[in-house]
Every structure is written in structure tokens, then in C-alpha cells.
Structure 1
């Protein structure tokens, strides 16, 4: 999955999760896909280079192929080059998980002109960012709901190398979210409230700090995002910023390293859509109906990514695992006839 804070470079992080056991309804659908013979023919589906998008592309490949008779080819992709190619060349046909915040203006223009179309929201929750604490800390201290609340309790989140101070763990070095986290730290006056900002160095370092805290059942406070594998493995609670997202202020100052007066603002929820070409939409028939209904929650994706990490599995493995083990999530996206074909393809 990709981060909205990294959309200025590759439009995502990946970051890319098990709370996914609950049954989900289709986020957009009200009726199942039709069961008439498919007409979609050959379909190029972008296989984006982060885990959540890789899994979704493989889910689409199986359902479109087995359920609708499409000839699906997965092609390498990334947010900017894929969407640019779709806008300019009409290929590939489908981008299953497009994080559109960084390309919203030209993409909206292409949609208004009828060259491209938004199908379902791939992640109805949107990409989520902010400051998080472990659920066991939240359960033990139900008074901690917001960033202001947590900054009153530095003793619960001890800094590893600053005795007597609390720690806020930063985003990995070199990522744009490192800057926004530093500015949030300043905006909330965390230093004056006896906290230090901890440089985790890398994604592995940030993940390792969470794992270590969980193993020892210690307090942890810091920046993270969803959907990601680490949130599928370790249950975390996102703190309420206590203020809405201020887009103008966030972009004008909080995203800049030289921001002199950062403001308190929530992080934006990244919009994540399936994008299709007009040519595909016109010929795909029921296959397009499926893509206009298909979407899953961050909890579901978090769990799948955690399973991938544990099993060292790839996107194709995770897609088959998902289709075998979570029919209550995906079967509402399609008709009973299509669901039977998919179950047969993955081996019930």
C-alpha cells in the first residue's frame, strides 16, 4: 500500500495489516455482478510494485479469468507511470489500486473527458496515517484518545536513550512523512511536554521498534500508516488528531523541511480507486460490473499482508489464500454463478 505522504515521489509507500476475520459487505455494491457471458477479451491489469496492490491485481486476475473468461495479463506498474500511460495511451486497461491524491487534477480531467473512469474504491477506508499506540496501552489507559492526551503521559512511552523522557518514533529517513512527523512534533509542542523524537532510520527500524515494544509489552508512540503488514501482526490504535485535516496549511508548510510555523492538522486520508480505460469499460460488460463493486477494508488487507510476511508468500499466493479463506468478503462482489467458477479455480 502506498502512503499519501510519499505520493509526491511514487504516489505511495507501501507500505503498505488479524483483524480481518470479521465479515464485510461490498463497500459500493448493492447487487451482484451479472452472469451473462463475458465480452472483456484480453485485459492488461497493472501489477503495482507494493504488496497490497500486488495482491489485489492477482485477485482480479483470478476472478476475471475464472469468473468472466477474460484473458488477463498482469503488467508491471507504479502509480505515476501507470496512470500517465492510461491517460496518454489507453494502456493498461485496469489499475486495481490507484492512489490518486498526487495525480488528482490530471486524472479528474481524463475522467471528465471520458477517457478514463473511476470504478470501485479499492480501499473504502482510504490510506490512513497518523500517530499510533499499542492496543494494550489504549486498553489500560482509556483516557488516552487524542494526541493531546498522549502527550500528557511521557512516562508511558519511555525513550530508549533519553532517561525520564517520552519517545515519539519518526517515519523512516528520507521519506516525506519524516518531515510531516517532525512538523507535527513541533506543532503539538511535544518537546516542551518532555518528549523526544526518535529517528528509526529505516522501515525495518520502525517495524522493529514496534515488535520490540510488543514483545516486552512496553509503551510505544509514533507515526505509522495502513494498510501494512505490521498492523496485521500487531494491533495498534490510531490517535485522534483532535483537529480536521487542513489541506492548505499541510501542503504549504507541514510538508516542508523549512516550515517555520507548522500547524496542528490531521493527516489526509488517501483516496484509493480502481481506474479503468473507457475502451475497457465499453467492452467488458459484467467484468466491469465486478470492478465497479470490488473493494476491501484496511483490516482485511493488513491481515493478508501479515500472512504474506509470515509465509514469505507472493501476491499470487496471497490472492488464492484470500479467495479460499474469506468468501464472505469477496462473494458479494459477484454473482453465485461466478463465485462457483472462482471457487472451482482456486480449489475449494
Structure 2
């Protein structure tokens, strides 16, 4: 995910977050996956972009169920990486990105300059990306939570994949992160190792925790995994707008914290009727999102089944999202 961009969230603030498993970001060829229902004039259809982290999948699953059941729409979903999703949204190949962790460059291009995309309100979740170690390790070595001491522990974080250096565990290579730049610019004796996906990263973290092994990982809040594996954040150099404005390879400060945002195709925002109004109204908090994410990622329920359960139990919440 980060999470999340998930990411180099330059002069914007952003929340950290979860992929289809609480989710990261999945690759997709939009020329093959663009829905025939996207931007279909006069049709009661909606196409939602699904990011790969489970939090975003939870957003889409719940929105899809309510759009279909309560408002009578046909909803199609398309999985696409976080940056290509902006191009797909601009071109009307999808109507909505339900959860964005901060892409100021894309926002400047499509929202401010081309005006083909419009903001559609906050998701309601505050995201934060960072580096984390397990609490059981931080309790024994409290100074590990200061980045200046990370080299002291590099040998303890080594793995077979990290080439003699400490391992910084990342998720999907498709995530836009600052980690390689941070390792280089802060002169840390670490190697960024990609697990391949959010789900694979979660599995790796759970395995480390079960064996009480030390680990350092890129991760994000909100995320249900913190309930199973308590983690403590490593403090990186303080975030500043000046740092965020640097070239990606020159970043040397922590990730920002920001409200997660929704974005909508500009034409759909004007002509999408009740569907567009509902999606603008859609807003829930981290606890609510994590409840659905946990069902998907940990309890192995399908997104549809998880959405069914949450919707059945939370009518007072989602009723308020329906257009008046």
C-alpha cells in the first residue's frame, strides 16, 4: 500500500494504508481491463478503480453493494496500479478512485491543469506511512526507534535476501515509496526487499512475529495487522514541505500524514446522478474500514461477503450516505 502516493507524498499530506488484503497496489493493463460500462452516457452504470491494498478493497466492496442494492446501479470494478489509475480516471475508463494516499504530481496535472478529474471528498481515514519494528524488539532495544541507531541493529535485521545488509521489508514494487532514497540519503546499511504484495508482506510479518524475530518494515496506518502484531514506529527525520518538494531520489525525511482522498472523473461528477452523489457522501472512519478489511484479509471472507455483513450491521451509518 502507502500505503499508500503510498509513497512520495510530496507537498501533500497523506494517510498510510493498507491491498486486497488490507490491502497494496496491484498491476493491471488498463487497455485490457477498462470496463465497457465506464462513462456510459445515460446508463445506470459505475466503474470503480480497485487499488490493491485491502483498505481500498473494503471501500469499493461496501460502495458497490450499496450502489447496486439501494440505488439500482450496475457496478463494474477494475484493478489498476495507483499511478496508472489517474490516467484511466482522466480518460473516463474508470469513474472513481475510492482511496488515494497522495499523488501531488498527478493531482496538479489532472485536477489543476487538465481539469479532467475532480476531488470527491475525504474517505474519512487519516493515513500515515512509516518504518516499523515489532514491539517485542523495541521493548528490549528502545533506541531502535530513532533512525540514527538503525545501523547499530543492521546485523539483527539481516535476512538471506538482504545481501549482508539489514533488511527493510517492503510490499509490492508497484507502490510509490521513498524507501530506497531514504536508505541511500541517510547512509543506512540496509537493503530494500520487496515481498511482492501487501498480502505477502503481511504473511512475512506474521511469520517473523510468530518466531519473535526482529524485523524492520515499511507499513502504514490504519491497518488491521497492528491488532495482531503490535509495532512501534521508527522516527525518521521530520517531514517538511521543502523536503517533500525535492526530487524523489533526494528525499531524506519521513512520510507525511494526510487524510485519504477520493477522486472522480470530472464528467461523471457532473452527470453521474445519484451514484456520483452517493460516492461523494461515502465517508467512514478507520475503525469501520478496518472491520471490513479484517474480515477480508484475516478471516478470508470475500470482499462481497464482508461488505454484506458490515452493511447489515451498520445501517445507521450508510443510510446517511444515500442521496436525499
TM-score by length of 1: 0.63
Q: CA deviation at 1:282?
A: 4.2
> What is the match of residue 185 of structure 2?
187
> What is the match of residue 309 of structure 1?
297
> What is the match of residue 59 of structure 1?
62
Bigger Cα displacement from structure 2, 292-301 vs 44-53: 292-301
Cα distance 1:58–1:166, how it changes in 2: closer, same or farther (>3 A)? Answer: same
Structure 1 spans left out of the alignment, 5+ residues? 18-39, 255-263, 340-348
Q: Distance in 2 between matches of 1:135 and 1:232?
A: 12
Count, aligned residues: 288
- Is 1:212 matched up with 2:207? yes
- 1:1-348 equivalence runs, <5 A: 1=1, 3-4=4-5, 14=19, 17=22, 42-50=44-52, 51-67=54-70, 69-78=71-80, 79-80=82-83, 82-89=85-92, 92-99=94-101, 101=103, 103-109=106-112, 113=115, 115-122=116-123, 124-126=125-127, 128-138=128-138, 145-148=145-148, 150-151=149-150, 154=153, 157=156, 159-160=158-159, 167-171=166-170, 174=173, 180-191=178-189, 196-197=190-191, 199=193, 202-203=196-197, 206-226=201-221, 230-231=225-226, 233-245=228-240, 246-254=243-251, 264-269=252-257, 272-282=260-270, 288-298=276-286, 300-325=288-313, 327=314, 331-332=316-317, 334-335=319-320
SS of residue in 2 equivalent to 1:125: strand
Do 1:41 and 1:70's aligned partners in 2 also have CA atoms closer than 8 Å? no
Cα distance 1:161–1:116, how it changes in 2: closer, same or farther (>3 A)? Answer: closer
SS of residue in 1 equivalent to 2:298: helix
Q: Distance in 1 between matches of 2:157 and 2:84?
A: 43
Q: CA deviation at 1:177?
A: 6.1
Q: Distance in 2 between matches of 1:210 and 1:72?
A: 38
Superposed CA deviations along residues 135-177 of structure 1, whole A, max 9, x for unmatched, are: 34445666664323x5386299453569xx9944232585566
Q: Distance in 2 between matches of 1:184 and 1:210?
A: 21
Do 2:7 and 2:255's aligned partners in 1 also have CA atoms closer than 8 Å? no
TM-score by length of 2: 0.67
Q: Distance in 1 between matches of 2:153 and 2:227?
A: 26
Q: Distance in 1 between matches of 2:261 and 2:67?
A: 18
Do 1:4 and 1:269's aligned partners in 2 also have CA atoms closer than 8 Å? no
Based on CA coordinates, which of the two structures has the bigger radius of gyration? 1
RMSD: 4.3
Structure 2 spans left out of the alignment, 5+ residues? 10-16, 23-41
Cα distance 1:277–1:202, how it changes in 2: closer, same or farther (>3 A)? Answer: closer
